[in-house]
Structure 1
């Protein structure tokens, strides 16, 4: 096993979709043989935009679905460590320590945070947690000393903050963290089926990895296409057309795609045929994923076991890293000095073990004079 580590993950807000696949999952599958792989179920990050009790109650179910999707997409369980973020309180302590290594102004310059606030309808009232999202993300990455982070385009600026925090920490307290490398996917993001924005669960414009063949056909038939094309004999626009974006990304028959584009531009093929061919291509792509998912679903408790064992392993790792961090910063030494002095005082009879400490009269005078 390599000593290089990869970390990435998702918020447990529902099943994974084709946008997740092109943005990160394809890279995770490809890189799992090169790196020791850690996948975070980021439920604390979820709280920045979804924090009602009803949202939180869905975390365990959504976590299972996410892990199933990841395994179905090709992640091998014996090569992966999945863990639940909220079950590792040490990550929160790292987050607190890292908050002092980055400025508010730096965080406010991250454009994706504004997009997240807008999508969550919190544009004019951004929570502190959302502003600090990249700092907690840095704690996620550095808590296992990850060397590589495969993410979509919208997270590039976040990972740069992680790199800056790691450099700053190393400069102040000594070499402790690797500087993680950003690994970009070939297709950084995927337009939604509505053609109006990127694929997003909250916008309902996605095709899920777990969708049935019939669900895929229905969603493709309703996809946005060239609005100026009122009939099949009108030449259409291919560039930026969501139907052809999906063809380019998922159709395993390039010759078919090239022919459809030529006929579309010439006005000799209708949208129905183009969409039928896309639905067929997407189902060819998703069929192996569906089969693997069904196989894992037949093993009751498997996913829960994977998450629990991964979380426990990760916590042990994070505890070791946090101990290194506290030692490097000198935080452990401060309390140890106080404790040793208190123990010496007890041995001299100033206090009895288990009894509250009381100042002697002379000490009390000196204390009052110092105020």
Structure 2
């Protein structure tokens, strides 16, 4: 699947926590072995909501990359980079803003949602309104076919598909498009060219989606045609012009089950997190302060695990044997809440110990972190530059 490209990013908000690890990083580490993966620090995005805050971006970026590496991301397998080190993102964002209707941005679900959640901030800025389009540019510039997201982010991927479709419709209409498409078909060889024509006819005459899937796979296998020819022939099948920007698909990831210390989703905004850098004694203090079933006032009071945030933690960290012990001990008042919390403390500390050992290695070599960021950003920029050459060419600004 390495011919499929995955792209995802994360804002540099500081040290990461267990919610990031279970909800995102473990998934990224798995995907890097299956796909051509690009993961970036979205430092420009930090300004869309926190433009007036005094953020130590340099430290936040460095800490985040260290956390990524310590949890299993491999710079030799995945391309790890920083958004602002690839200025082509900003250029594509600008050019896409010329064709994107204002109403599309205003209807993005997170626009009103974030304004409601962040009432204390002045978000009446173009940067905030336009951040979904910058997000689209982040994806489209790498022609990423897949974007790993939770269900709450699917709307952003669909918005990106609409942006790409509109751009392709406006700028993919080459005057000699059909002539170039026919020349490209000729490069495929007689047998493959006939198969392509048959599949194109089947799709255009009957709307047979399977024919479209087969034709895309056929084009993906071709060695005799250029990337531009491949995109041209994709557009030729679908009755469009040349496909300049690839429409991405959402790669749905399971929602993170990691609860915070209060039972809500683990989030810095709720102040309920356990950092990946937390010391063992702090983990113990935090877990021991977690609220439990309010019905258990005294040790002799029976409790209900389903009303206890600690039970949610047990479901992530504890084996069946421990779960049975907790359930019986709680419902029959055989164990106290501190006793119940001890396996959680031990499991979290066991999980964090190897991660923190890796962090120590990387933090002892800050030059290595800089090299990884520089090399990853340079690799990303090569791809981004190629995409921008095609975009400029399509828009007629190559003079």
User: 1:23·1:151 contact (CA, 8 Å) conserved in 2?
Assistant: no
Of residues 30-39 and 269-278 in structure 1, the stretch that sits farther from structure 2 once superposed is: 269-278
Distance in structure 2 (CA, Å) of the matches to 1:74 and 1:216:
22
Residue 77 of structure 1 and its aligned partner are, at CA, apart by 2.1
- 1:286 matched to which residue of 2? 352
Aligned equivalent of 1:205, options 272, 278, 303: 272
TM-score, normalised to structure 1, is: 0.81
Say whether residues 1:312 and 2:378 are aligned partners.
yes
Alignment RMSD: 2.4
User: 1:167·1:179 contact (CA, 8 Å) conserved in 2?
Assistant: yes
Query: Equivalent residue of 1:13, what SS?
Result: coil
User: 1:102·1:165 contact (CA, 8 Å) conserved in 2?
Assistant: yes
Say whether residues 1:99 and 2:166 are aligned partners.
no
- 1:181 matched to which residue of 2? 249
Residue 25 of structure 1 and its aligned partner are, at CA, apart by 1.0
Deviations 1:57-81 (A, max 9, x none): x111111110111111111121122
Query: 1:177 and 1:36, CA in 2 relative to 1: closer, same or farther beyond 3 A?
Result: same
- 2:361 matched to which residue of 1? 295
Please list every run of at least 4 consecutive aligned residues from structure 1 whose deviation after the TM superposition is greater than 4 angstroms: 122-125
Distance in structure 1 (CA, Å) of the matches to 2:390 and 2:307:
50
- 2:298 matched to which residue of 1? 231
User: 1:147·1:178 contact (CA, 8 Å) conserved in 2?
Assistant: yes
Query: 1:275 and 1:156, CA in 2 relative to 1: closer, same or farther beyond 3 A?
Result: farther
Larger gyration radius, structure 1 or structure 2: 1
- 1:145 matched to which residue of 2? 143
Distance in structure 2 (CA, Å) of the matches to 1:240 and 1:37:
40
User: 1:237·1:265 contact (CA, 8 Å) conserved in 2?
Assistant: yes
Alignment of 1:40-119 (within 5 A): 40-52=40-52, 54-55=54-55, 58-119=56-117
Deviations 1:155-198 (A, max 9, x none): 33222222222233333323123332222333336432123x42
TM-score, normalised to structure 2, is: 0.75
Distance in structure 2 (CA, Å) of the matches to 1:110 and 1:225:
38
Gaps of 5+ in 2: 173-241
- 1:264 matched to which residue of 2? 330
Query: Equivalent residue of 1:206, what SS?
Result: coil
Residue 7 of structure 1 and its aligned partner are, at CA, apart by 1.2
Distance in structure 2 (CA, Å) of the matches to 1:166 and 1:240:
46
Deviations 1:236-290 (A, max 9, x none): 33336322222222x1523212331343234333221222121111112222212
Distance in structure 2 (CA, Å) of the matches to 1:167 and 1:239:
47
- 1:222 matched to which residue of 2? 289
Deviations 1:71-108 (A, max 9, x none): 11111121122222122222112112223454444333
- 2:315 matched to which residue of 1? 248
- 1:134 matched to which residue of 2? 132
Deviations 1:291-314 (A, max 9, x none): 222232333411111011111222
User: 2:6·2:145 contact (CA, 8 Å) conserved in 1?
Assistant: yes
Distance in structure 2 (CA, Å) of the matches to 1:192 and 1:114:
25
Distance in structure 2 (CA, Å) of the matches to 1:291 and 1:107:
44
Query: 1:101 and 1:275, CA in 2 relative to 1: closer, same or farther beyond 3 A?
Result: farther
Residue 153 of structure 1 and its aligned partner are, at CA, apart by 4.3
Distance in structure 2 (CA, Å) of the matches to 1:283 and 1:325:
49
Distance in structure 1 (CA, Å) of the matches to 2:338 and 2:91:
55
Query: Equivalent residue of 1:44, what SS?
Result: coil
Query: Equivalent residue of 1:132, what SS?
Result: helix
Query: Equivalent residue of 1:39, what SS?
Result: strand
User: 1:6·1:147 contact (CA, 8 Å) conserved in 2?
Assistant: yes
Say whether residues 1:14 and 2:80 are aligned partners.
no
- 2:228 matched to which residue of 1? none
- 1:121 matched to which residue of 2? 119
Aligned equivalent of 2:390, options 324, 335, 359: 324
Distance in structure 1 (CA, Å) of the matches to 2:124 and 2:350:
42
User: 1:91·1:143 contact (CA, 8 Å) conserved in 2?
Assistant: yes
